[in-house]
Amino acid sequence: MRKVRILHISTAHQPQDPRIVFKQCQTLSASYEVFCALPHAQAAVAPDIHFIWLPYFRHVIWRTLFTSPFALLRCLWLRPKIVHVYVPEFIPFAFVFQLLGAQIIYEVQENLYKKMHLKAINNGYLLTRAFYWFDQLARRHFYLIFTEHAYLDTYSELAKPYAVIYNYPLLSFLEPFRQPYQPDPAQPSFFYIGWLSFERAFDTLVEAFAQLKTIHPDFVVHLFGRRTFSDASLNALPAYKAVANNLRFYGYMDQRIAFPHAAHATAGLALLKPIGDYPDSYTTKLFEYMALGLPVITSDFPLYRNVVERHKCGFCVSAYDGPQIATLLTYLIEHPDESRAMGQRGRKAVEQEYNWGTESEKLLHYYTLILSNSNKYIEDFTIN
C-alpha cells in the first residue's frame, strides 16, 4: 500500500536541523512518505526522506518575497495530505495547500510574543504586526504543535486540536558521541552548542572564564553556534582579551561534527538570562549534555531547577553571577569523581524521562488524529 505523503517545510532552519530532520521526519518516515523542504537541503543528510532544496535569506522579508513563493512552486505538485510548517512567514502560502485539501500543522518553537523585542534583525513595527496577523490566522485554521507547555498561556482558544511535543534528545543519535567521563586535568575543557548571544549570558561567561583563568590558565571552551553579536561588541567585553586564546569559535555546524568535541569535556554550559520566553522554555542543550553524560551548569529558573537539582546532575546559577559561575567551573574541574557521578545521574534521567521516545509516540498519534479528522482535544498530550 502506498504511504500517505506529507511535507515539512521551513524557510529559515538549517538543513541538518536536529528536531526537524533527525527526530520528526525520521520518526514519520516509517509510516509516511516524507518530503522535507529546507534551505540548502542535502539529500545525503538522512535516509528515507525526500529533501527539497530552498534558497536561504537571513532577513524574513526576502524569505517571504522569494523563498516562500519558490517553496510553494517547488512543492505544490506533491499534493501532500499534511503540510507541517515551522515559520510564521510561510503561513499565508500554507493556505494554498489547504485549499487543495491538505491539513496544515503550524509548529510554535518559540514564543515570539515575549521574544520579538530581543531580535536584532527581523524586527520592527510592520514585521511585528504581520506576525500577529499570520499567527492569528494559524490559530483559527491550522492544527498547532508546541515545543513547550508554557506556550499555552499565550495560545488559548485554539480552533483545532493541539499537541505539546518537547524537543528531548534522540538517544540513538547521540549514543555514538558518548564517551566515558575522563576530563583532562592538565587542560580542562567545556562544551557549548547553540546560539551565542549576550541574552544567553555569553558576556557573563567571559567574566567567569577570566576568573577561572587565574586558577586554571590552560582551559579550553568549545563554542558551536551562530554569534548574534559583532566582533566589536565581543572585543568591548572587559574580560575578553584575557581569555580570547582559551575560546574556540566554530560557528554553526552539524551536530555530528560538534558533539565529538564534547569528549573529555568537564561540563556542558547552558546559561540563559531571565528575559523573553527563556524562563518558560527548556533549552535543548541541557538534555543533550545530560544524554552525553556531562554535568551541566545552567540557569536558576524554577523549570530548570526541577530537572537539575531533582536529579543532582549539575548546578543552577544566576546568569548574571560571573564569580559564582567561576566557582562552580573550578569545583567541577577539581572534583572529577563527583562530576562523573553528576553526569551519570543526568544520563539516567534522560534515559528514563527526557528522551524522544515518548515524544515520537505523541507525534505519530497526532498525525493519526489529524488524518482521521477527529475534533477531540488531546489533553493527554500536554505535559504538566
* C-alpha angle 353-152-30 in degrees, rounded to nearest 5: 50
Instruction: Tell whether the model's pLDDT for residue 44 goes beyond 70.
Output: no
Do 119 and 229 sit in the same domain of this protein? no
CA atoms of 143 and 158, how far apart (whole Å): 8
Do 33 and 143 sit in the same domain of this protein? yes
Give the mean pLDDT of the chain: 92
Do 95 and 76 sit in the same domain of this protein? yes
| Cell matching residue 250 | 566554530
pLDDT-based confidence at residue 381 (cuts at 50, 70, 90):
very low
Residue 16 has φ and ψ, to the nearest 5°, of: -110, 25
Continuous segment of H or E residues that includes residue 162? strand 162-164
Do 193 and 338 sit in the same domain of this protein? yes
Comparing C-alpha atoms, which of 250, 254, 260 is closest to residue 175? Answer: 260
Does residue 123 or residue 31 have the better pLDDT?
Answer: 31
pLDDT digits (tens, 9 = 90+) for 204-248: 999 999 999 999 999 999 999 999 999 999 999 999 999 999 999
Domains identified in the chain, total number:
2
Q: Say which range, 108-117, 174-183, 295-304, has the weakest mean pLDDT.
A: 108-117
Distance of CA 345 to the CA centre of its chain: 23
Do 127 and 208 sit in the same domain of this protein? no
Q: How many CB atoms lie within 10 A of CB 242?
A: 16
CB contact set of 130 (below 8 Å; sequence gap of 6+): none
pLDDT digits (tens, 9 = 90+) for 285-339: 999 999 999 999 999 999 999 999 999 999 999 999 999 999 999 999 999 999 9
Do 375 and 339 sit in the same domain of this protein? no
Do 146 and 205 sit in the same domain of this protein? no
Do 153 and 181 sit in the same domain of this protein? no
Q: State how beta strands 50-54 and 82-85 pair.
A: unpaired
- Cα-Cα-Cα-Cα torsion 338, 342, 344, 348, nearest 10 degrees, comes to 150
> Residue 192 carries which side chain, given as an amino acid letter?
Y
Do 330 and 372 sit in the same domain of this protein? no
Do 16 and 72 sit in the same domain of this protein? yes
Domain that holds residue 69: 4-168+355-381
Mean pLDDT value across residues 143-158: 93
Q: Say which range, 87-91, 154-158, 263-267, 315-319, has the weakest mean pLDDT.
A: 154-158
Comparing C-alpha atoms, which of 200, 252, 208 is closest to residue 226? Answer: 252
Residue count of the chain, please give it.
Answer: 384
Query: CB of 259 within 8 A of CB of 278?
Result: no
**How far, in Å, are 92, 137, 166 from residue 142 at the CA level?**
11, 8, 19
Q: Which residues pair with 221 in a beta bridge?
A: 190, 247
Q: State the CATH number of the domain containing residue 217.
A: 3.40.50.2000
Do 138 and 29 sit in the same domain of this protein? yes
The pLDDT assigned to 115 comes to: 61
Do 162 and 179 sit in the same domain of this protein? no
Instruction: Tell whether the model's pLDDT for residue 382 goes beyond 60.
Output: no
Residue 263 has φ and ψ, to the nearest 5°, of: -60, 130
The pLDDT assigned to 73 comes to: 95
Q: Please, what is the angle between helix 202-213 and helix 322-334, to 10°?
A: 50
Secondary structure tally for the chain: helices H, strands E? 16, 13
Residue 53 has φ and ψ, to the nearest 5°, of: -75, 135
pLDDT digits (tens, 9 = 90+) for 20-31: 999 999 999 999
